[in-house]
Structure 1
Amino acid sequence: MDHGYGFYLDEYQRDVGVHTEDRRGHIECPDSAGFLAAHLPVFDLAAGSVGAFASAIDRAAGHWTLNPERIAASFSSDRLFRTGGEPINGFSEYSGFFAARDGWVRTHGNYPHHRDRLLTILELEPGSPKEAVAQRISELSAIEIEQQAAEIGAIAVRARTETEWRLSEQCAAARSAPLVSIRAREMGEPRALPTRPRVLDLTRVIAGPVATRALALVGAEVLRIDPPAIPEIGWQHLDSGQGKRSALLDLKSSEGATAFRELLETADVLVTGYRPGALEALIGQDLPAHLIHGRVSAWGWQGPWADRRGFDSIVQAASGISFLEGGEKPGALPAQALDHASGYFLAAGILDALTMRSHDGRGRAVDVSLAGTCARLLDAPGRTLHPGLPTAPGFGAVVNHGDVTTARPALAEFEDYPSPAHSWGSDPAEWAH
């Protein structure tokens, strides 16, 4: 039996200050069976994050048995995803490892605006091919590319060793922050725990959407909102959008900001990936006192990189994980586990914050970061020098929605995500607080 996942359950329970009877003892997981095998204990991280979510669903510490294949499928959903029977490529040609003059650089150019900024710092014409990107990077210093990317909002990082990362200020900031932080705001009147919390989702890619998808799974009404000018990548929207409704809304317009303020008044939860204060500046007011505000970031809210953009693959490269998994030529974890695990930890924190609010009426900020999750993975017991090849989840761990095939929910007690999504326009009487 693998019990390393208990490390993460203990971390979660301590950080959020939950004192129910031994939650860890009621979460059971069979042997990993080779799923998510890596040099680092990735399966333990995955199982621990899903276990934290299960424990937050059932604060009475009911018994949960986790399914290793379902967890691995959920965390590897990009590899199992099919549309019309065809697989997808999760990364564009502008995303990946490139050899620089003095080391390795990991780039992320899946979104057009990030791709264009990357080409700008490389002094390349729009639409330049991957070969031109590789040639230009080979002529430059890795740290120079990283610094220029940070200055203009492009996404590129120098691949570091674990030792280099542990000596950095940003690593120290990530390790000193809680895995999941729950901070109470103003006092308020107690509100009954809603049966179907209303959730506004302003996140994209993986961590935030995984959190709100998990909340939809247990009955939340989730409304996913995207800006019209920067649409989400289509397959990612399908992969993480089960059980949600979606809309386009321009918060930079006066009409959009007004509509969003009205949505906030009826919402229980807001999930964002904005920098601190950015959303309030857009809508022209503070968030309602009753709101649970879940926030996800790449690097956390302290340290010299707090304002930088980043994704799972970028954090892996900066933290030394890429060299741990790949050797002299950097590699990657068998899944984007930092993203997925952070999403489940965030969902767990939001459920616990809603329960806390039902007692004292106080809204709360719930924070997670990919770097914080990464710090726990690097510090956790269970490394191995010879992990072997990971076992691939089978297609018994997927579900079909029309011509779209996606991974089943990680918790085996649930066979599918809600379909169709719960209606945001339900009778308000059902949402009496």
Structure 2
Amino acid sequence: MIIYDDGDTATRQAWTALGGAPGLTGRVGYRGAGALGAARLPVRELARATVGVCSLAAAELAAVRAGRAVADLPGLVVDEGAVSTAFTSERHLRVDGRAPVSFAPLSGFWRTADGWLRTHANYPHHRAALERALGAGAGDGTGGLTPERLRAELAGRKAVEVQEAVYAAGGLAVAVAEGFGAPQPLVEVRETGGRGRELGAGRLPASGVRVLDLTRVIAGPVATRTLGLLGADVLRIDPPGLPEADDAHADTGFGKRSARLDLADRADRETFGELLAGADVLVTGYRPGALDRYGLSAGELAARRPGLVVAQVCAWGWHGPWAGRRGFDSLVQAGYGIAAAEAGPDGAPGVLPAQALDHGTGYLLAAGVLRALAEGGGRLLRFSLAGTASWLVREVPRQPAAAGGSAGADGSAGAGAGPAAVYGREAYEPGPWLRETPSAYGTLRYAAPPLAVGPDDWSAGPSRWGTDPARWLPAHGRE
């Protein structure tokens, strides 16, 4: 077991960014030797720190609600095996014994005439946009784009040229950057005025808290399934015309209910307004400005709902020329320079051993919400995958081998541009942190939650995406 006198450095960095009181990170320790996998960047340290601050924020909120002094929080111990298993939850998922497919055939790295390109075509509409951009649609008489055709097409074109053409068509492709992107804040926190409801004591840290969830894919859903674990009534809302992949929802749909509303429809918009009026927290995962036309800009929300906690997550950050672009973890790794930093001996781009930007940002977002609730609400929190990437490559320190790391042959440690040592080759057995439960999707094998606070499992498996009623649970159903 490792307990730090003043807290692990990365944990302290994240807690400070979230506005946490100095000194509390000394309550968080880490044990075990979970192994995310080999990496040059300190991804293991990032992963455990994000779970550590989320655990600490949950303990803080529980103490505040119970009227206890935060300074008297007990020690919290996070198991690194649980962290590693949770950060690779999509790889451990089994649906009636079947392993899900994480990436579609047209998603991946491709060599171009001047470098490398990363595409993301897991969703049908993104695949269709990629085909349109490259003139190889299913209706052109060629039978659509295949990996072989894509490889041949890209070999003669420049990476940035394809990136811009695909983006203009509504698709997702990013040129692999050789250097790290511009610095981004880990979180932006702004007071918006007003106070939320007085919550009083609760059985769990977030008991009775109502969370309206407008997020998709991994980062936002990880945050909201964590809030659901801690007792919140989480209601996810999606547009009817943009279905979620079954396997993705089977993995991240725990701890919440899922309904569909079309905000362009007047009746559905009124229903959403009623839900918003009863919410304590709104979490969004859409591009900056994408929801403004529905009256959901930060300024309008602050005026309409004083005391509401608004937590927003996007891919590329909230400022700069790429702020409004779509993105996923894999694309941010490529465009921010991580893929180049993790390149193999042959120079081909590499990846982090987990979708750590997604998962890490998810736990940071949940921690930010819990801290905002502990301080009375009225907060705007902004996170991004690029912000988490910036923290990873510039600030998160590598723990030496004596603290559980596995140093490279040169014994070097510490994050920075182009680190040479490869860490994290040790193996571990995830079995102790795998669970099984029936669900609307069938019997699921899944990763247990990694927090050091709260239940060690969700009470039930996820419902099927979009099939729950769009209403809050009665008060007695939220404890």
Normalising by structure 1, report the TM-score.
0.90
Amino acid at match of 1:427: P
| Shift, 1:409, TM fit | 0.6
Query: Which of 418, 427, 430 is residue 474 of structure 2 equivalent to?
Result: 427
**Residues 195 and 8 (structure 1), Cα distance of their counterparts in 2 relative to 1, 3 Å cut:** same
**Residues 214 and 184 (structure 1), Cα distance of their counterparts in 2 relative to 1, 3 Å cut:** same
- The answer to whether structure 1 residue 385 and structure 2 residue 421 are counterparts is yes
- Which deviates more from structure 2 when the two are superposed, residues 251-260 or residues 206-215? 251-260
- The answer to whether structure 1 residue 329 and structure 2 residue 348 are counterparts is yes
Q: Deviations over 1:234-272 (max 9, x none)?
A: 011010011111111111211111110110001111111
| Shift, 1:284, TM fit | 7.6
The separation in 2 between residues aligned to 1:49 and 1:187, in whole angstroms, is 28
| Shift, 1:321, TM fit | 1.4
- The answer to whether structure 1 residue 275 and structure 2 residue 287 are counterparts is yes
Q: State how 1:18-57 maps to structure 2 within 5 Å.
A: 18-19=20-21, 22-57=23-58
The separation in 2 between residues aligned to 1:247 and 1:94, in whole angstroms, is 30
Amino acid at match of 1:295: Q
User: How many residues are matched?
Assistant: 417
The separation in 2 between residues aligned to 1:140 and 1:202, in whole angstroms, is 37
Contact map agreement 2:239 2:262 (CA 8 A) in 1: yes
The residue that corresponds to 2:445 in the other structure is 405
Contact map agreement 1:54 1:64 (CA 8 A) in 2: yes
**Residues 116 and 421 (structure 1), Cα distance of their counterparts in 2 relative to 1, 3 Å cut:** closer
Contact map agreement 2:208 2:475 (CA 8 A) in 1: no
Amino acid at match of 1:353: A
**Residues 333 and 62 (structure 1), Cα distance of their counterparts in 2 relative to 1, 3 Å cut:** same
Q: State how 1:160-179 maps to structure 2 within 5 Å.
A: 160-162=177-179, 165-166=180-181, 171-172=182-183, 174=184, 177=185, 179=186
The residue that corresponds to 1:8 in the other structure is 10
The separation in 1 between residues aligned to 2:474 and 2:92, in whole angstroms, is 37
**Residues 425 and 310 (structure 1), Cα distance of their counterparts in 2 relative to 1, 3 Å cut:** closer
- The answer to whether structure 1 residue 418 and structure 2 residue 459 are counterparts is yes
The residue that corresponds to 2:378 in the other structure is 363
Query: Which of 281, 286, 309 is residue 292 of structure 1 equivalent to?
Result: 309
**Residues 320 and 244 (structure 1), Cα distance of their counterparts in 2 relative to 1, 3 Å cut:** same
Amino acid at match of 1:11: Q
The separation in 1 between residues aligned to 2:166 and 2:221, in whole angstroms, is 25
Contact map agreement 2:263 2:272 (CA 8 A) in 1: yes
Contact map agreement 2:197 2:280 (CA 8 A) in 1: no
| Shift, 1:13, TM fit | 2.5
- Which deviates more from structure 2 when the two are superposed, residues 184-193 or residues 270-279? 184-193
% identical equivalent positions: 38
Q: State how 1:106-125 maps to structure 2 within 5 Å.
A: 106-125=118-137
Contact map agreement 1:206 1:340 (CA 8 A) in 2: yes
The residue that corresponds to 1:222 in the other structure is 234
Gaps of 5+ in 1: none
| Shift, 1:196, TM fit | 2.1
Amino acid at match of 1:301: W
The separation in 2 between residues aligned to 1:406 and 1:153, in whole angstroms, is 33
Q: Deviations over 1:271-303 (max 9, x none)?
A: 111234432412588322222111101111011
The separation in 2 between residues aligned to 1:429 and 1:216, in whole angstroms, is 15
Amino acid at match of 1:376: W
| Shift, 1:119, TM fit | 1.3
The separation in 1 between residues aligned to 2:424 and 2:83, in whole angstroms, is 19
Gaps of 5+ in 2: 61-69, 139-143, 201-205, 399-413, 415-419
What's the Cα RMSD here? 2.5
Normalising by structure 2, report the TM-score.
0.81
The residue that corresponds to 2:325 in the other structure is 308
Query: Which of 360, 366, 371 is residue 341 of structure 1 equivalent to?
Result: 360
Q: Deviations over 1:294-333 (max 9, x none)?
A: 1101111011110111111111111221122223011111
Contact map agreement 1:36 1:42 (CA 8 A) in 2: no
The residue that corresponds to 2:211 in the other structure is 199
